[in-house]
Amino acid sequence: MEWLTEFPSMDKESLRALKKAIDGGFREFTRGYGESVELLFDPIKYFLIQSEHFLTNTPWPIIMGLICLISWIASRNFKIVIGTLITMVLIGYFNMWNDTMKTVSMTFVCTMLSVSMGIPIGIIMSRYNRLQRVITPILDVMQTMPSFVYLIPVVMLLGIGKVPGMLAVVIYAIPPIIRLTNLGIRLVDRDVLEAADAYGSSAWQRLRNVQIPLALPTIMAGINQTIMMALSMVVVASMIGVQGLGQPVLKAIANQYFTLGVFNGLAIVGIAIIFDRVSQAFGRRLQKHQEIVHGN
Amino acid sequence: MNWQSAEVLAHIDHIILSEGYGCDAQLIPGDTMPTFTSMNEKAQPDVAPELWVNSLQEPLDIAVAEGRLVIAAESLSEGGVEGWWIPQYLADAHPEIKTIEDALAHPELFPAPEDDSKGAVHNCPSGWNCQISTENLFKAFKAEDKGFVLVDTGSAAGLDGSIAKAYERKEGWLGYYWAPTSILGKYVMFKLDEGVEHDKEHWEKCTGTIDCEDPKPNAWGASKVFTVVTSQFVEKASVAMDYIKHRQWNNSTVNKLLAWMSDNQATGEEGAEFFLENNLDIWREWVSEEAAQNIKKSLNITG
C-alpha cells in the first residue's frame, strides 16, 4: 500500500536525467545563439545607457528644473510641483541624488516600454475573446513566477546589467496595464457603442473617440499600477547588477543598516509618488479635455 | 544557510544528529547576517554549521565574550580561499597572466558588459564584506587608470550568472570569487596571485574597511570558517556538541562533493547522503561508534 501514503513520483534517476537534459539544452542554446540574442537588445541597451548618462552627467539644477517643468506641464498644479521639488531636494540632501537618477532613468524607460506595449496589447485583447483566453494565463505567469526563476536563464543569455534588469522589470510591470486596458474597454457601455455605430463611426473612430476616452480612468489606474510595480522591482533588478537605489538597499539588508535601508526605501517611495501624481494629474486633464470636446 | 557548501553540511548534520543521535533536528534556511543576528538575539537556531566569520568578526567576538554564542569548531580545516579569478581557458591561452597586475595590463581581454572599450572587474555581491575589500583593492591596484571599471553584480546569483555566461561562450572574465563553491567545482578557474603578501594589519585598518583613504595592494588571507552554536545548545545537547566539535573537512573534499552535486543537480539532502555513503573514512572519525552504526543502518551502508 505504499502508493497510498507516498505519491507515486517519477524515479530519482529519470527526474535527474530530465533536469539535466533541459539544462543541457538551454546551455547549448546560450552557446549557439547567446550573442545574436544579445545583439537584438543592443538598441535598448544603448537607449538605457544614454538616458542614464543624461540624467547623471547633467548638472543637478538643470535636471531638477526639468523635472519640475515636466510636472508643471503635465499637471498644471502648483501643489504637485512643490511636492516634487521638496522630495528631490531631500533626496539630494541625503546624498542619494546619483542613485536616484539611475533609478529614475531605469524606471522611466521601463514604464514607457510597458505602457507603449501594454496599451496596444490590451486593446487587441479586448476585441477578441479567444486572445483574452490565451493572454490571461500568460499574464498570471508573469505576475506570480518568482523573478529569479527567469532571471537565471536571462543572465546566462544576456549577462548582468541593465538589459536583463529591464526585462525583469517589464515582465513584472506590464501585466496591470494590459489587464486594465482590456477591462476598461470591455466595460464601456454597450448603448454608447451602439450610438457611435448609429452615427456611422468607423472602428478606429469608435476606439479613439469613444472607447479609449471612456476607459481612460481604468487605463490610468493601470498606468499607476505599472509605475508602482516597476519601482518595486528596483531592488530585485539590482540583484543582477542594475545600479541605483536598489544597491544600497541590498547593502542595508545584508548588513542590517536600518537607516540606510529606510532612507533609500523612502527615496523609492518618493519617486514613485512623484511619477504617479504627475501622470494621474495628466490623465485627469486629458479627461477634462475630452469632456469639453464632447460638450458635456 | 543558503549557499551550497553550508547547505550540504547542514544536511549532513541533520542526518547525523537525527539518525545517529536521535535528536529532533530541524533545518532553517537563512543568510549569514540574519542567521547570526537571530542566533545572537533570540538563540534561534541552535547551530550555524558554516559561518564565514571574516565579515562579522567584531559582533561575533562580542557575542562570544558575553556568553551568548560559542565557536564550536573550525568546519573548514584550511579555511576559505578568496581572491580574483580568471577562467582556466583564458589562463591557458595567456600563460603570461599570473598575477592581478598581469591581468590588469590587458583590459581588452575582459570587456565590460556596458562599455566594450573598458575592462571589467566583477565585484562581490552588494553588502558582502568582500565588496568593500574588492573596491579597495580595485583602487589599490589602480585598475581605473588601466582602463577597468568595477561592475556591481548585485547578488551571488548575478555573480554566478556572469561567470556561467562567460564560461559557456569562452569569453573573458575577471572578478572576485571564493572557494569552496560549486561554481569553482564546475567551472575551473585560475586564482590570480596578488603579487604581495597578506598584510593583516593593513587589511584590518584599511583594505577591509569602508573609509580606507589610501589602500595599498594586499592579499586575501585565508578566511576562517567556523561552526557556531548558541550557549544554550551547549548546555542542553552535550552529545551533539561532541560531534560538532569533531566535524571538520577540507576544501578538496568539499569542492569534489559540490561538483558532484552540480553535475547531478542534486539537492543538499542528496549531496549529504552521497557524502555519507561514499566517505565513510572521513565522517567515522566525527561520531561515536554507536552513532556510526545507527547512521549506517539508516542509510543501508555496509562496512
A19 near B CB under 8 A: yes
Q: Which of residues 75-114 of B touch A (CB under 8 A)?
A: 113-114
Residues of A in contact with B132 (CB under 8 A): none
Task: Tell me which chain B residues have a C-beta less than 8 angstroms from the C-beta of A248.
Answer: 126
Q: In chain A, what residues touch B33 (CB-CB under 8 Å)?
A: 254-256
Average pLDDT over residues A175-188: 94
pLDDT at A295 over 80: no
Model pLDDT, residue A292 = 52
Q: A242 contacts in B (CB within 8 Å)?
A: 154
Whether B230 contacts B43, CB under 8 Å: yes
For residue B266 the three cell numbers come to 542534486
Judging contacts by C-beta atoms under 8 Å, the chain B residues touching residue A158 are 165
Q: Do A253 and B127 touch (CB under 8 A)?
A: yes
Q: Which three cell numbers stand for residue B183?
A: 561554481
Q: Which of B153, B169, B264 sits opposite A34 (nearest CB)?
A: B169
Q: How far apart are CA A101 and CA A52, in angstroms?
A: 7
Confidence of residue B233 (pLDDT cuts 50, 70, 90): confident
Give the pLDDT score at B66: 87
* Cβ contact B161–A252 (<8 Å): no
> What are the helix and strand counts (H, E) for chain B?
15, 9
Nearest residue of chain B to residue A155 (CA atoms):
B161
Summarised one tens digit per residue, pLDDT across range A229-239 is 999 888 888 88
Q: Is B169 on the interface with A (CB under 8 A)?
A: yes
CB atoms A241 and B265 under 8 Å: no
B292-303 tens-digit pLDDT: 888 888 887 765
Angle at B83 between CA B141 and CA B11, to 5 degrees: 160
CA distance B126 to chain A (A): 5
With H, G, I as helix, E, B as strand and everything else as coil, classify residue B119. strand
Q: What angle do CA A8, A9, A11 make, to 5 degrees?
A: 120
Establish if A261 touches chain B: CB-CB under 8 angstroms. Answer: no
Which residue from B minimizes the CA distance to A260? Answer: B127
Asked if A84 reaches chain B (Cβ–Cβ under 8 Å), the answer is no
Contact A180, A122 (CB under 8 A): yes
A107/A276 Cα distance (integer angstroms): 12
Which pLDDT band, with edges at 50, 70 and 90, does A296 fall under?
A: very low
CA distance A94 to B221: 36
Q: How far is CA A233 from CA A168, B91, B219, in A?
A: 8, 38, 37
Q: Which one of A52, A56, A160 makes the best mutation probe of the B interface by having the most chain B beta carbons within 10 Å?
A: A160
d(CA A119, CA A75): 22
- B-chain residues within 8 Å CB-CB of A21? none
What does DSSP say about strands B148-151 and B115-122: parallel, antiparallel, or unpaired? Answer: parallel
ipTM: 0.75
- pLDDT for the residue B302: 65
Task: Read off the pLDDT band of A269 (50, 70, 90).
Answer: very high
Q: Strands of B26-106 (E only): list them.
A: 47-52, 69-74, 81-87
Grid coordinates given for B262: 552540480
Model confidence at A276: pLDDT above 90: no
On the question of pLDDT at B267 being above 80, the answer is yes
pLDDT exceeds cutoff 50 at B94: yes
Residues 10-69 (B) with a CB less than 8 A from some CB of A: 31, 33, 37
For A251, nearest residue in chain B (alpha carbons): B127
Instruction: Give SS3 for B99.
Output: strand
**Which region among A260-264, B69-73, B83-87, B126-130 has the lowest average model confidence (pLDDT)?**
B126-130
pLDDT (0 to 100) of residue B182? 78
Maximum Cα interatomic distance, chain A, rounded to a whole number of Å: 76
In this predicted structure, the answer to whether residue A287 has a pLDDT above a threshold of 80 is: no
CA dist., res. B160 & res. A32, Å (int): 20
Query: What is the distance in angstroms between the Cα of B33 and the nearest Cα belonging to chain A?
Result: 6
For the stretch B164-183, pLDDT in tens is 888 888 889 999 998 887 78
C-alpha cell at B131: 565588496
Q: pLDDT above 70 covers what percent of chain A? A: 97
**Model-level pTM greater than 0.80?**
no
